[in-house]
């Protein structure tokens, strides 16, 4: 958004939007590769004969590899408000955000590649320590780059229309990065011979590709000027406290956290529905998720059209409400064979999720940008990165809680029906209830519960966000 001849604001051009979104492709690639390959690289799944699947060398015990990744995620969440505070206080001739994106991407890429080169060529706890160190370093630096990058959204897009447009293309870039990180990586691993060397070749390739996209954006996108009076030269607590006194931000943060919490529970169940109920191989989950991604991508232009008619609040509420309505349908896959093919039914249910997720991905950044503008009017400071940092702390924590909650859910009710558990009486009552209404899933009861739990958290998000009164 720039000033016109008469001082009016002119729309944000597509050139700037596309230049900005290029970096998000690379950022999503790195995040996807980490989730999909890192733990498997250190502790590969083994065949019945005991050899690592795909001839991948085991570098660390599975439990330690999982703990190392959780340590990295903890560092990621912890870094968000700290990086936000530092970025908001920064004042250079390149701006407050671009220096972090430009110079942080170099060590970030190095740590990402180092993660796939542990020091010992055998299974060892010291390799797990290396994984924790490199993963923690990578994710801290990842936040150092991403938090200031996201803080550019309200700075580049000043009008409500521009923010929704920029957020729409940002979501498309995320999907492109997800596809590259999920599909192209597998091709590279295979072409490079598979196994440990194949994964390493892929990791180096994706690291270089992502670095190139981030540097490209950092060198081509220029920040708008911020007056010195609006640079937040205040203490960390002085910067943090107003955010938690901002009613609109609290409503937003608890609503979006409710969404991610429910979605992660549902997402974690998909691979088990494929293998336990549909009797498909593990890799079939990619086909299930592909349908959702297609619907999501096709929905993004429609979301922008709907925004012009209904506004951000109604679309945000609609996204939560549709998640609440669609997610419990997953439980019907148990009985889907009565009226249609169960696999086809599950494809349809997950694909339907693409539209409400598109609503959330497009609208939430635009809503937060409006809240940041409101904060500036109240305090006189521009603190985009702090707000995005706090949001990152909450959403990343709730995503982790969602994944952990799903594990507890499946342990109590799911794959082993809580045999011998102290909660066996409760779990038995719930499994008996499902049986009484004709949805007896036996050991898969936890998979039936994933949908309703997602619906409960989505309902909580609807109730909370209905109190949101900031209109722009």
Tell me how far apart the alpha carbons of residues 289 and 263 are, in angstroms, rounded to a whole number. Answer: 13
Q: What are the backbone dihedrals phi and psi of residue 258, each rounded to the nearest 5 degrees, phi first?
A: -60, -40
Enumerate the domain spans of the chain.
Answer: 1-6+13-226, 235-472
Does 20 score more than 90 pLDDT? yes
Q: Determine the longest span between alpha carbons in the chain, in angstroms.
A: 75
Query: pLDDT (tens digit, 9 = 90+) per residue, 391-422?
Result: 888 888 887 787 777 767 766 665 433 333 43
CATH 1.20.1250.20 matches 235-472: yes
Q: Cα separation of 206 and 154, whole Å?
A: 29
Place of tokens 């922008």: 304
pLDDT of 314 higher than 90: yes
Tokens read off for 66: 């999982």
On whether the CB atoms of residues 92 and 223 are closer than 8 A, the answer is no
User: What architecture is domain 1-6+13-226?
Assistant: Up-down Bundle (1.20)
Both tokens of 184, joined, read 């192209």
Q: 3-class DSSP state for residue 45?
A: coil
Q: How far apart are CA 284 and CA 59, in angstroms?
A: 27
Least confident of 3-7, 86-90, 316-320: 3-7
**What pTM does this model have?**
0.74
pLDDT digits (tens, 9 = 90+) for 250-309: 999 999 999 999 988 888 788 778 877 888 876 677 788 888 888 988 998 899 889 888
Q: pLDDT above 70 covers what percent of the chain?
A: 80
Does residue 209 register a pLDDT over 80? yes
Q: Does residue 24 register a pLDDT over 80?
A: yes
CB atoms within 10 A of CB 317: 20
Of the candidates 389, 85, 99, 97, the residue with the CA atom closest to the CA atom of residue 238: 85
- Which is more confident, 360 or 379? 360
* DSSP-assigned letter for residue 10: E
Local confidence band at 230 (pLDDT 50, 70, 90 cut-offs): low
Q: Which residue has the higher pLDDT, 279 or 348?
A: 348
Q: Is the pLDDT of residue 157 over 70?
A: yes
User: Which DSSP state fits 3?
Assistant: E
Asked if the domains at 1-6+13-226 and 235-472 fall in one CATH topology, the answer is yes
| 82 three-state secondary structure | helix
Q: How confident is the model at residue 140 (pLDDT cuts 50, 70, 90)?
A: very high
Provide the pLDDT confidence category of residue 8 given band limits of 50, 70 and 90: low
At 2, is the pLDDT very low, low, confident or very high (cuts 50, 70, 90)?
very low
Q: Please give the pLDDT value at position 282.
A: 60
Residue 355 has pLDDT above 80, yes or no: yes
The CA-based dihedral angle spanning residues 333, 336, 341, 346, taken in that order and rounded to the nearest 10 degrees: -30
Could you tell me what percent of the chain has a pLDDT over 90?
A: 33
């Amino acid at each position: 958004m720039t000033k016109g001849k008469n001082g009016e604001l002119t729309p944000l051009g597509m050139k700037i939007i596309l230049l900005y979104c290029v970096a998000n492709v690379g950022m999503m690639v790195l995040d996807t590769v980490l989730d999909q390959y890192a733990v498997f690289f250190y502790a590969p799944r083994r065949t019945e004969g005991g050899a690592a699947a795909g001839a991948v060398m085991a570098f660390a015990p599975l439990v330690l590899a999982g703990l190392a990744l959780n340590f990295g995620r903890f560092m990621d969440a912890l870094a968000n408000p700290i990086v936000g505070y530092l970025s908001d206080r920064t004042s250079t001739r390149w701006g407050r955000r671009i220096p972090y994106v430009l110079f942080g991407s170099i060590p970030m890429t190095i740590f990402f590649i180092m993660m796939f080169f542990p020091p010992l060529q055998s299974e060892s706890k010291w390799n797990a320590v290396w994984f924790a160190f490199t993963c923690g370093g990578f994710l801290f630096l990842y936040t150092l780059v991403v938090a200031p990058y996201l803080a550019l959204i309200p700075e580049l897009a000043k009008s409500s229309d521009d923010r929704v447009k920029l957020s729409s293309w940002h979501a498309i870039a995320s999907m492109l990065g997800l596809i590259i990180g999920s599909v192209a990586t597998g091709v590279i691993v295979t072409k490079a011979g598979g196994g440990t060397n194949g994964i390493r070749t892929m990791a180096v390739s994706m690291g270089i590709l992502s670095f190139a996209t981030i540097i490209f954006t950092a060198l081509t996108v220029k920040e708008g000027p911020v007056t010195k009076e609006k640079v937040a030269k205040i203490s960390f607590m002085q910067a943090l406290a107003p955010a938690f006194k901002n009613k609109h931000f609290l409503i937003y943060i608890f609503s979006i956290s409710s969404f991610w919490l429910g979605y992660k529970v549902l997402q974690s169940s998909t691979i088990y529905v494929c293998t336990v109920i549909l009797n498909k191989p593990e890799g079939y989950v990619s086909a299930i998720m592909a349908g959702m991604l297609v619907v999501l991508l096709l929905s993004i232009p429609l979301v922008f059209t709907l925004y012009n008619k209904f506004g951000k609040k109604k679309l945000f509420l609609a996204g939560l409400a549709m998640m609440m309505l669609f997610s419990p349908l997953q439980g019907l896959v148990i009985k889907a064979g009565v009226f249609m093919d169960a696999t086809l039914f599950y494809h349809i249910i997950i694909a339907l999720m693409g539209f409400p997720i598109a609503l959330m991905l497009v609208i939430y950044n635009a809503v937060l940008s409006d809240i940041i503008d409101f904060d500036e009017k109240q305090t006189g400071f521009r603190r985009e990165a702090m707000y995005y940092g706090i949001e990152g702390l909450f959403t990343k924590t709730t995503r982790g809680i969602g994944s952990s909650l799903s594990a507890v859910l499946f342990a109590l009710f799911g794959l082993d029906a809580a045999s011998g558990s102290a909660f066996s009486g409760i779990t038995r009552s719930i499994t008996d209830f499902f049986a009484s209404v004709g949805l007896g899933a036996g050991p898969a009861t936890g998979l039936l519960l994933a949908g309703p739990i997602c619906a409960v958290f989505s309902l909580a998000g609807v109730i909370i966000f209905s109190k949101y009164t900031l209109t722009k």
